[in-house]
């Protein structure tokens, strides 16, 4: 990697890591796995930097994270434990955030953590990343129908796991 490409990569990592880390956390459900997921995607980017268009660095990293997470849940299917104890929830310190928003964040994080990795991935891609179903299907290598049904079942499960989410939606 030449010095200009290395400098561009360093600037990209410095500026985009917080946003990418939030996405990785939502995909994995815990801080340590999120750090591993993002680090693996960034390492892959660094290894292929010469062959990737400089303008598409973030798209490359996000797609790599989605694919790595899908691979993780395929390999670990049925072997993964997820903490459900509310004391295990880690919060980011948010300055100026109201208690209502924090409570909502906790509810959503807890609900996402209790979904399977596949369900969590489609919910994050659809509602956090705001991707259309066709793009989610393309990124995950699924049909649009599979994406739709998975989103529908995932949201139904999320609503049943966290009934307070429906009350929050009515308040908004």
Domains of the chain: 1-81 (no CATH), 87-172 (1.10.10.10)
pLDDT(97) > 80: no
Q: Give the model confidence (pLDDT) of 139-151 as tens digits.
A: 888 999 999 999 9
CB distance 136 to 149 below 8 Å: no
Residue 166: what pLDDT? 65
3-state SS of 43-84 is: HHHHHCHHHCCHHHHHHHHHHHHHHHHHHHHHHCCCCCCCCC
This prediction has a pTM of 0.54
Compute the distance between CA of residue 150 and CA of residue 141 in angstroms, rounded to an integer.
Answer: 13
pLDDT band at 91 (very low <50, low <70, confident <90, very high): very low
Stretch 58-86: mean pLDDT? 71
Number of alpha carbons in the 13 Å side-chain half-sphere of residue 35: 2
**Hey, what are 93's tokens?**
């310190």
Name the average pLDDT for the chain: 79
């Amino acid at each position: 990697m030449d010095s200009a490409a290395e400098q561009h990569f360093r600037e990209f990592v410095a500026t985009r890591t917080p946003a990418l880390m939030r996405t990785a956390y939502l995909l994995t459900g815990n801080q340590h796995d999120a750090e591993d997921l993002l680090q693996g995607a960034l390492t892959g980017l660094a290894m292929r930097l010469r062959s990737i268009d400089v303008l598409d660095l973030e798209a490359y990293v996000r797609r790599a994270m989605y694919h790595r997470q899908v691979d993780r849940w395929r390999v670990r299917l049925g072997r993964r434990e997820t903490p459900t104890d509310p004391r295990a929830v880690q919060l980011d310190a948010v300055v100026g955030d109201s208690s209502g928003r924090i409570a909502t964040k906790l509810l959503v994080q807890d609900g996402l953590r209790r979904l399977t990795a596949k369900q969590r991935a489609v919910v994050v891609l659809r509602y956090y990343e705001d991707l259309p179903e066709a793009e989610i299907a393309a990124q995950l290598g699924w049909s649009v129908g599979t994406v739709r049904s998975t989103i529908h079942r995932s949201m139904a499960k999320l609503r049943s796991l966290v009934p307070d989410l429906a009350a929050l939606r009515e308040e908004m």
